[in-house]
Structure 1
Amino acid sequence: MDNRHQETLARIGLNILYYRKQKGYTQQRLAELTSYSKNHIQQVETAKTLPSVIALLDIAEALEIPPSKLFEFR
């Protein structure tokens, strides 16, 4: 994976973690809601894998947030 976007991917992962915890979801619960594996959710949260746009849309939908929230820099 190209390191040019590593900071952004890390930010997306942290945002997923933040909103997941806000909902009180475990990685397992988010995996169940999105039909992705727990391992995949973990890898996205830790920026170890490059998530597809569809995966990000599915995650945002499961977290009941607009997809743009995943890209916010707080």
Structure 2
Amino acid sequence: MMKHYKTMVQIGLNILYYRKQQGLTQEQLAEQIGITQQHFQRIETAHSVPSLSTLLDIADALGVPVQKLFDAR
């Protein structure tokens, strides 16, 4: 598997947490940041590695600093 898989899982879980806090669906958030729902789902489940630009877009859409997406819970 990929070298940073555990980190990608953590990022996905944090995205899920903040997305649920905002009451957004995967489709709604994906649309806000200009990616497909399928791509978003793959990011959230650590099956795809997002670009830095996409991570920044996700953090902006969720209203959290990008560092929060890396926090261990």
Range of TM-score over shorter length: over 0.9
- For these two proteins, the number of residue pairs brought into alignment is 73
Aligned residue for 1:6? 5
Structure 1: tracts of 5 or more residues without a match: none
Tell me the TM-score normalised to structure 2 length: 0.96
Normalising by structure 1, what TM-score? 0.95
Per the TM alignment, residue 54 of structure 1 is displaced from its structure 2 partner at its CA by 0.3
Task: Give the alignment of 1:47-66 within 5 angstroms.
Answer: 47-66=46-65
Q: Distance in 2 between matches of 1:55 and 1:6?
A: 18
Residue ranges of structure 2 left out of the alignment (5+ in a row):
none
Task: Determine helix, strand or coil for the equivalent of 1:3.
Answer: coil
Q: Indicate whether 1:46 and 2:45 are aligned.
A: yes
- Give RMSD over aligned pairs: 0.8
Deviation of residue 28 (structure 1)?
A: 0.6
